[in-house]
Structures are given as structure tokens and as C-alpha cells.
Structure 1
């Protein structure tokens, strides 16, 4: 079965980033499998209206006011008329929102449920529970996910975080990781190691004492990305290792702090600041280095470290969030998110590289077998089948027996569209918040009724679809294995009596 799907998020191309790449790659792979996919995002400089990308992917750039970090000003209801018009024109059946901090995402899921559409939410980030910003974000997430059909997280750590933040049943949350197009992140030919004529294994030669080792950092220069850690660590690493240089690509409010650090320590000749780079240029930057340094303070997945490993770089990263789930131990050295430990881990990697103890020659092929956007699309497609009723609840959530399964099925089943049922779900969100949420839903419903009378559906022209490709429905062995692993984890959650 094929679907008409709308991906909704504030974050999309031309802005570079992991969420943007995820939406694009997932959308193109779903199109390859015969589905119709459109993207709804806000207008960027020079991009307003409708654009077509590769593979017939249509993007709606809605001209809304951008408030902070490419996030639109939350208006709750003013997006509804435009959203409804797009949904009806494109005959959308499933609305798939991305990112906890996307205003478009939260508003689209609310409006889609009011219109009687199935909804999916993908969480790409980790958030705390104590500070004011996290409390507000978590309450907003609770509002959105109280009436959503299914949730996808990019790592198991992200799933645990989302389940706790939004008080969800773990059964209605699936883990589908990001992936990488390995062909776009190949090592340079001259960096590939010569193979042994005896066993075919790569021959790794020690670097000479005075050979330069280049450490690459590609990241948004924000606090949560560990820029302060990077600022503290670079002078110490450069002092301890005279033949090490850095390449830093990215932009953000912390860029000026990095430049000030370079001036204070007179390191301009050893640290190259490239500024923002386009996603298609990331590989060209990475292959100039030997080590990739990722000092993030919080990370749900970390697609960039997979891209770095695919380019043949050894990865030094902080042990936070879902990062330990991403790559096997022989590709990484982990550090605590502390200055001393990060410097020590980087020095350890530099020493191992000089001694020829790091076999990076096979990283690219190993990453290719571990991550595939085709597998991600197949597993996402299975979520669509589950919420649309194509799969039975036993098939979707995993076969089980007993009272525990019956109770879980009652909680995690497909959500009802009836207004009274929706209000019941929202009312339980808090003493005051529950009443406010119910008021928002009622107003949204009244706006929907008004729009149905003021702009009837039969007056909205349906667009001509891009020619669809024949659907590819065969599941890969990797997908089946991942589904089996997810069922085992679901069974473990039921056995442990997990409740959101």
C-alpha cells in the first residue's frame, strides 16, 4: 500500500544539519518505494513558495516570521488555513512531524488530528527536566504527543528521554536510527591503505614524528554542541602536540568566542576557521583530516560522526546521549564531557595514530553495511502500515499473550479521531495545562468547521501528482532483524511493567 505523506518541520534545506538531511533522505527513499511525499517548511532567504528537488520531492516554503534559530513564531492557529489548503490540494493521508523545537511540527500535528489524518512524530533531540526552557518544551511535547498515532526516536537513549518527557507508553515509540549515504562520504584514493599480499588486510604504517595530524570539527557553534569545551581543549592539545592542526567548520553565536581564543593563544596558523559549509561540501572537508573531534554536551544520535567514520576518520567524542550507540568501539575513543578527559582522549588517539594502531582503512565499508537509508525507509513505512491498520496490532507491536499485552494494546492502539476522546486525552495533561489544552483543541475544531464552510473542499483544486515509481515492498534482512530486535525490547518493557 502506498501513502500520500507530508513531512513538516521548520528545519530543512538550504540550511545544513542532521534533521534537514534526515527529512530529505527519508523522503527520497519513500518516493523510491512508490509513495508520494511533500515537505512543508518555512521560507528561507531566496526560497518562498513551491520548489522541486531531486526525485520529484515538492517543498512548500511558507512565508512565516522566523523567531530564533530558524524556528517560526508559534501562532497555534494562523498556520491552519494554509496547512489545510496544502493538505487538501496534495490529498495527504499521513502527516509526519519532525523535531521537538519546530513550531510548524507541533501545529501541523494538532491541525492534522482535527482534520482526521494519521500522524507520526520523530524526535531528534534530548532535553533535560529541570531548567525552565526544558520544562516548557516538555509540556509542549506532552500536548502534541497526547494525540499522536506513533512516535519515532533516532536512538534508544532518545526513546527513554522522550517516553519520560511526554509520559508515553514505550510500545507506541519505535527506534529508527539515522543513516548515511556512504557513496557521498568516501575516503580519498591516496588515503586508502595498501593491502597485504598475504591476508588482504590493510597495512598501516606509523606516521613520522614530524608529520602533521589534522583534527576536523564540523558542528554548529552553540553551547549544547560543546563549543566551550572545544575552546578550552584546543590550546592544550596544540601545546602538547606541536604537529597537530585543526579545521573547524560551522557557524553560530560561539564563533566569536573561538576566534578570540585563537587570538589570545596566537593559533591562527594552526586552526583554520572555514565558517558554514554546505552539506555536499562536508566530505571534502573531512577527507583533509585524520581525526574527527565531536565534543557535544547532548546528542540524540550524531549523524556527523557516522559521516566522519565513512570518510576514514577516527572519531573522538563525548560519551553523552545516544552517541555510544552509533559506532562500534574500534572506531571511537570516548571522553567524559570535561576538558581534562577530552584532552586526554584526543592525545590518546593522536598517539595511536602515530604508532599505526588505528585501522581506519575498512571504516567506509563497515559503515556502508551498518547504515542504509533504504532500511530506514522500510522501517518507517512499517510504522505507516501499523497506524493505518494494514498491520494488525499484534503484528505491529509484536506478538504476546496475557493480561499485560491486553492492557498495553489498549494504551498503545490507534488513536480515535472523536473530539470527546481527544479532549479526554488532553484533559489528563495537568490541572491547569489540561484545561488549556482542551480549550486549544476546541478552538482548533471550530476554526476547522469555519474553514470547511468558508472554503469548501470542492473549491480547492487537487494538484497533479508527480509520476510515481513502482513500489518496492521487499523487506531487507537488516530491516527484519531490526524489527525482531524492537519486538524483543517491547517484550522486555512489558515484562518490567514499564508505563509512561
Structure 2
């Protein structure tokens, strides 16, 4: 099992409980930090030197070679936005067990991740489910998991998602300063609303100062990715049409062998 060096307090409670229950279970723990001493104390207290290996900080080039040594990837984060680590774990064919925090539930398909509450009890239960799956041989092959994950976050896919967000934001109506302050004061409560409104006013004044120091005219305008008047996009569409035109009909293709 490979574990990220996060949520150390949770991990410290998980390790002794599962190692006693599963004598052949081994933990590979990657990461470095001030709480490493907690894990060292747990290993010493329960004499788990053979089952718990603290790898420390890993170079990015070495991550894959370490991950493929395990079967389960455990993430014990207490807070998380996206968690690239679980994508890397799944990409290496590992069954992922993770705390249900932040954006983690949206990262991987449900059958590739076991989500748990950020408690020792819940994580132990999730790990036992993953361990049982491996003992029963019902976990998909590592190659199959990798092939699924590698198509989830291609650069084209990420670019298309980002473009959709920008397009949606660009279509939204720009609120005036008065409307923004009114929304803050009516939606955030009488006390917090006033505080947020004050911060917004200070931010606006700071923006005016920055615009005075560096006028808008001095800022470079981003280049249109589609070219002048969408020329690049039109050229791409034209090339696609020409390729279709030059493709021979089905009955004339030399690579088709129809037998009756």
C-alpha cells in the first residue's frame, strides 16, 4: 500500500490497527514534514519496522517506480482542492482510498475510488473493503485502470473544460460597484456583509491605484487563439473538408475486404 504523507494524525491511528489485523500488510509512506516524527514514534511503539517504510520526499521522476510497488493508494488529506496525487495513484493501477474532502469526490469515477469520512474508523473500513477486493481478485487489472484514467485528463480535455468556464463567465452581466456591495450586504448577514463590503471597497480603491500606476493602455492584449477573423479555425475546418473529399468511397477502398 502506498500512502501520501498527509493527515498524519489519521494515518497514525490507522497503521497499528490494520497491521495487527492483516500481518502481511505493508505501508509505503511518501512525503516529508515536521510530523514525520509522529509516524516514527508509532513504528517504534508497535515494532512495525518490517511493515512501515518511510520514504521521505520523492523526486517526481521516482514517483511512478514507487507507486507500482503497491496495490492500494491511501490519501488521508483533511483538506484538498483537486488532489493530483490520487490521479497519479490510479494512473499507476492502484485502487484509491481517500477522505471525502474538497473536490476529491469529483476527480475519479466511483468504481476507481473508495471515499471515506476523515476519521480513523471510516478510513479503516474503506481500506478493509479495498483489501477484501484484492483478496477476492475482483479489482480490475492495473493496465485497465491506467487506460481509463489516462483519457480523463488529457490536455485537450482540460483546455475544453477551461474554455467552457471562460465562455460562461464572459456571458455573465458585469455588476456595478453598487450592485456588488448591495449583494454582499444582503446575502452575507448584517455583520459579515458590512465587513465583506468594506474589504471590497478597499480592493476597488487598490485597483484604482494600480490602474493609475500602470494604465490599461500599457497592458498587452492577449492574442486571439483563432487568428485574425478566425482564420486559423477556418483553415482547420477547410483542411478537414478537403480530407473527407479525398477519401474514396467505401466500395473503392483498398483496405476493405468484403466476403459473402
Match of 2:208 among 433, 440, 445: 445
Gaps of 5+ in 1: 1-214, 394-412, 475-500
Q: How far 1:313 sits from its partner (Å)?
A: 0.8
SS in 2 for 1:282: helix
Match of 2:77 among 278, 286, 296: 296
Q: 1:472 & 1:270 partners in 2: Cα distance? A: 57
Q: How far 1:217 sits from its partner (Å)?
A: 0.9
SS in 1 for 2:151: helix
Q: In angstroms, what is the RMSD of aligned CA positions?
A: 3.3
Give the structure 1 partner of residue 258 of structure 2: none
Residue 20 of structure 2 corresponds to residue 217 of structure 1 = no
1:348 to 1:438, Cα distance in 2 relative to 1, 3 A: closer
Give the structure 2 partner of residue 431 of structure 1: 194
- What are the superposed Cα offsets for residues 217-241 of structure 1, whole Å, 9 maximum, x if unpaired? 124x3xxxx3211110001111111
Give the structure 2 partner of residue 381 of structure 1: 163
Q: 1:431 & 1:216 partners in 2: Cα distance? A: 47
Instruction: Using CA pairs under 8 Å that are at least 6 residues apart, name the structure with larger relative contact order, 1 or 2.
Output: 1
Match of 1:372 among 120, 142, 154: 154
- What are the superposed Cα offsets for residues 92-140 of structure 1, whole Å, 9 maximum, x if unpaired? xxxxxxxxxxxxxxxxxxxxxxxxxxxxxxxxxxxxxxxxxxxxxxxxx
Give the structure 2 partner of residue 247 of structure 1: 28
Contact residue 423 and residue 441 of structure 1 kept, 8 A? no
Q: How far 1:436 sits from its partner (Å)?
A: 4.3
Q: 2:152 & 2:98 partners in 1: Cα distance? A: 19
Q: 2:126 & 2:173 partners in 1: Cα distance? A: 47
1:328 to 1:230, Cα distance in 2 relative to 1, 3 A: same
Residue 148 of structure 2 corresponds to residue 330 of structure 1 = no
Contact residue 248 and residue 274 of structure 1 kept, 8 A? yes
Q: 1:346 & 1:386 partners in 2: Cα distance? A: 40
Q: Could you tell me the TM-score, scaled by structure 2's length? A: 0.70
Runs (4+) of structure 1 moved beyond 6 Å?
469-474
SS in 2 for 1:243: coil
Richer in strand (by share):
1
- What are the superposed Cα offsets for residues 145-193 of structure 1, whole Å, 9 maximum, x if unpaired? xxxxxxxxxxxxxxxxxxxxxxxxxxxxxxxxxxxxxxxxxxxxxxxxx
1:414 to 1:257, Cα distance in 2 relative to 1, 3 A: same
SS in 1 for 2:194: coil
Q: 1:255 & 1:292 partners in 2: Cα distance? A: 19
Q: 1:336 & 1:314 partners in 2: Cα distance? A: 17
Match of 1:356 among 124, 129, 137: 137
Q: 2:157 & 2:198 partners in 1: Cα distance? A: 41
1:457 to 1:360, Cα distance in 2 relative to 1, 3 A: same
Contact residue 427 and residue 435 of structure 1 kept, 8 A? no
SS in 1 for 2:28: strand
SS in 2 for 1:244: coil
Give the structure 1 partner of residue 122 of structure 2: 341
Q: 2:131 & 2:214 partners in 1: Cα distance? A: 64
Q: How far 1:448 sits from its partner (Å)?
A: 3.0
Q: 1:291 & 1:260 partners in 2: Cα distance? A: 24
Q: 2:100 & 2:165 partners in 1: Cα distance? A: 30
Q: 2:89 & 2:147 partners in 1: Cα distance? A: 13
SS in 1 for 2:27: strand
Residue 177 of structure 2 corresponds to residue 422 of structure 1 = yes
Give the structure 2 partner of residue 17 of structure 1: none
Q: How far 1:377 sits from its partner (Å)?
A: 0.8
1:323 to 1:382, Cα distance in 2 relative to 1, 3 A: closer
Gaps of 5+ in 2: 185-192, 237-260
Q: Could you tell me the TM-score, scaled by structure 1's length? A: 0.39
- What are the superposed Cα offsets for residues 12-62 of structure 1, whole Å, 9 maximum, x if unpaired? xxxxxxxxxxxxxxxxxxxxxxxxxxxxxxxxxxxxxxxxxxxxxxxxxxx
1:266 to 1:422, Cα distance in 2 relative to 1, 3 A: same
Pair member with larger Rg: 2
Q: 1:471 & 1:281 partners in 2: Cα distance? A: 40
SS in 2 for 1:260: helix
Q: How far 1:332 sits from its partner (Å)?
A: 2.8
Q: 2:101 & 2:214 partners in 1: Cα distance? A: 48
